Structure 1
Amino acid sequence: MKPTAYIKDRKFLIAFYFILMAFISSVMYLDGTVNISADNIIYINAVSIVFFFMYLTWDFLYQRNFYSTIHEMITSRQEDFVSALPEAKTNEQHAFILLLKQVYEQQNARIEALHERKREDRDFFITWIHEIKTPIAASRLIIDNSIGKPMDTILDKLENELDKIDGYVEQVLYYSRTDSFTKDYVISECNIEKVVKESVKKQAKLFIGKRIRCEMNHLDIEVLSDKKWLGFIVDQILSNSLKYTDQEGIITITGHENEKEKMLVIEDNGVGIKAEDIDRIFEKGFTGYSGRVYAKSTGFGLYLAKTLAVKLGHTISVESEEGKYTKMMIHFPKPLNHFDVT
């Protein structure tokens, strides 16, 4: 810190000192009851100025080291500046250092969150690339082995693989848009039955291929949601049920309503979920025991479903018993004015 900068910072104190001394000197000189000569007043002012500037000099030297260290850290662009901060000598400096540390910690937390997001994105895309390569390779194999086979059979198999590719592309598209979700949704009245039937129709070949029966009950319910995003959520849950339900199984889709909420329940009689995995199935990238043993899984479908549901104001819960059933429930809370509050 330069002396000129210090004097500039203390300009109001210096101005206050001279105004105060001028006032005191005037009172002493003009007050007839005080027997003091002009020379004595000048002497008092001269001595007080000397002491005042001695104080300013001491205060400058006392604080110069602190500010010089700060200035050096700024000019050197030191990265880990918190550990190099000098010791505070005043309450003002102490508050300043605390603020710097708080900003530094908050910035580190943001950077760590960005790094974590980058790592998660990298893991997702690596897994996704490996997953999408499977139907592509299968399509090539179907074409290579198509000689002498009926064209309808070949086209049907290729269409199945294209549907898988389309599903993976849709998943990565929704994943890439989760951060900009607020720019791309419209809340309106949605008919659950229409949303469910579109999802079932989209995955009809899987139902037929595995001879899985689908039962739908009491779905004529209106909910406040975004039809496109809700459809994707249902797609992910239904796809998960199809993946872990054995041949000739059954998936039951039912609507429920009470005074507090409306609910869509998708239940299958598949392999179920191990008790220790239930609390983690909505975590990003978590595949669990079933995902590792029964089918290949990216572990992102249910994560996306849960994330988008929360953004829409819905919740998803799960009940399951290993080897018996899995029940996924999408909850649509009703506005408070839809029921009495006592």
Structure 2
Amino acid sequence: MSLYGYIKDKRFFVIFYLLIITFVSIILYTNIDQHAWSVILYTYISCLVFACMYIAVGYYYRKKFYQSLRELTEHPHDVLVSLLPESQNENQRLFVNVIKNIVQDHTHQLQKLQEEKKEHQEYILSWIHEIKLPIAASKLLLEHSEDKSKEWLDDHLEDELGKIEDYVEQALYYSRIDTFNKDYFITEVHVGQIVKNTVKKYAKLFINKGIHFHMENSELTVQSDKKWLGFVLDQLMANALKYTDVGGNISVSFEEDSNEKRVRLHDDGIGIKSEDIDRVFDRGFTGTTGRNHTKSTGMGLYLAKKLANKLEYELTIESEEGVYTTAVIHVPKVRNYYRL
């Protein structure tokens, strides 16, 4: 900080000083004789000297603080807070606190962006690996289809294309999570019809595994976005089908009380270990079941949970290993959509 800059900052003090001197001069001029002007001039010069000394001493006292701030511009942001100089007065203390808050907020946002970028990269790599499997399987089917019928080939290729479509859909919804508020439309939705669409989507898997489906009280309606709620139900249904054995059962029921409406998707599949139940919604978590019984990306329930939260729903899982698994969508009756 230059001396000129410091004096400029003290301009109000200088103006105040000149006004006081002018006022005193007027008073003295109207009340004393001419012989006292030498004393007045001496007083003026002495006051001016003291004022200059005050500004000079203040400048050199403050110079160290401002010089330290200037030197901070040469350091990376992550060490700024630790290098901030000690404040010399209340104003400086306020400015230092503001700088600390800004730097800490910036650091927090930067860390969050880095974590999101890392998460995105990991998902893309996982997605590429997973989508290569049905593509490779399709190539193998075509290469070894000489002795197979056209119907057999079409059936198996359709299965692989369905897997590719599911992976692409997951990636599409994953990419839209952060821009959800630009792509939703709340209406009165008939949940039973959405469930029927989901069952229709996975009808072939139901048939191939001989799984029985049952739905009760299909008249429930909720305030929701049809597309996003449908995706949540798709992920829950796909997960239930994946871990339900041949000949098993899947059912959907609806409940309602004074606080909320609930959609319960129940299966009598292999269930979830008790030590895994609290982590099933973590990104990329497959658990013992996912590793031992079938290939799993660990993204289906993660996306379902994220999108349910965006809709202001609560998604919970109840399970007993080897007995059942029940996913419950809790829809509160009092909601504020403008908070999305």
Q: What secondary structure sits across from 1:177 in the alignment?
A: helix
Q: Which residue identity lines up with residue 60 of structure 2 in the other structure? A: L
**Worse-matched range after superposition: 274-283 or 325-334:** 274-283
Q: Which runs of 5 or more residues in structure 2 are unaligned? A: 336-340
Alpha carbons 1:124, 1:298 under 8 Å: kept: no
* Pairwise CA distance, 1:316: 0.9
Tell me which moved more, 219-228 or 288-297. Answer: 288-297
Structure 1 match to 2:157: 158
1:91 aligns with 2:90: yes
Q: Deviations over 1:163-202 (max 9, x none)?
A: 0100000000000011111111100011111100000110
Distance (Å, rounded) in 1 between the aligned partners of 2:285 and 2:147: 43
Range that drifts further, 91-100 or 45-54: 91-100
Once the two structures are superposed, the pairs formed by residues 196-235 of structure 1 within 5 Å of their partners are: 196-235=195-234
2:286 aligns with: 287
Residue 129 of structure 1 pairs with residue 128 of structure 2: yes
**Where in structure 2 are the equivalents of 1:270-285 lying within 5 Å?**
270-285=269-284
Q: SS at the partner of 2:46?
A: helix
Supply the distance in 2 between the matched residues of 1:65 and 1:17 (Cα, whole angstroms).
Answer: 26
For the residues of structure 2 that align with 1:133 and 1:72, how far apart are their CA atoms? 53
> Does residue 1:246 correspond to 2:245, yes or no?
yes
Map 1:12-161 to 2 at 5 A.
12-31=12-31, 37-74=36-73, 76=74, 78-79=76-77, 80-161=79-160
Partner of 1:11: 11
Deviations 1:229-257 (A, max 9, x none): 11100000000111111111100111112
Partners of 2:127 and 2:234 in 1: how far apart? 17
Kindly provide the CA deviation profile for residues 61-89 of structure 1, in whole angstroms up to 9, marking residues without a partner as x.
11112212322333x36443333333322
Deviations 1:88-131 (A, max 9, x none): 22222222222212111111110110111111111111111111
Q: Which amino acid aligns with 2:180?
A: F
Runs of 4+ aligned residues of structure 1 deviating over 6 Å after TM superposition are: none
CA contact (8 A) 2:80 2:103 kept: no
Q: For 1:178, what is the secondary structure of its paired residue?
A: helix
- The offset of 1:8, in angstroms, is 0.8
Offset at residue 262 of structure 1 (A): 1.4
Alignment length (residue pairs): 334
Partner of 2:338: none
Question: TM-score, length-normalised on structure 1?
Answer: 0.93
- 1:288-329 residue CA offsets vs partner (Å, 9 max, x unmatched): 221121221111111111111111121111211111111101
Q: Distance in 1 between matches of 2:188 and 2:95?
A: 53
* TM superposition shift of 1:138: 1.0
- Aligned partners of 1:158, 1:98: CA distance in 2, in Å? 63
| Matches of 2:88 and 2:312, distance apart in 1 | 51
Tell me how far apart the structure 1 counterparts of residues 100 and 256 of structure 2 sit (CA, whole Å): 51
Q: Tell me how large the CA RMSD over aligned residues is.
A: 1.7
The one-letter amino acid paired with 2:9 is D
In the alignment, which residue of structure 2 is the partner of 1:172? 171
Q: Distance in 2 between matches of 1:84 and 1:265?
A: 56
Structure-2-length-normalised TM-score: 0.94
Label 1:245 to 1:228 Cα distance change in 2 as closer, same or farther (>3 A): same
- Paired residue secondary structure (1:283): coil
* Cα pair distance change 1:90/1:36, threshold 3 Å: farther
For the residue of structure 1 that corresponds to 2:303, the secondary structure is helix
What SS class does the counterpart of residue 81 from structure 1 fall into?
A: helix
Q: Among the aligned pairs, what percent are the same residue? A: 44
- The whole-number CA distance in structure 2 between the counterparts of 1:137 and 1:95 is 63
Counterparts of 2:260 and 2:273 in 1: how far apart (Å)?
A: 28
Alignment gaps of 5+ in structure 1: 337-342
Q: For residue 27 of structure 1, report the CA deviation from its aligned partner.
A: 2.3
Post-superposition shift, 1:24?
2.4
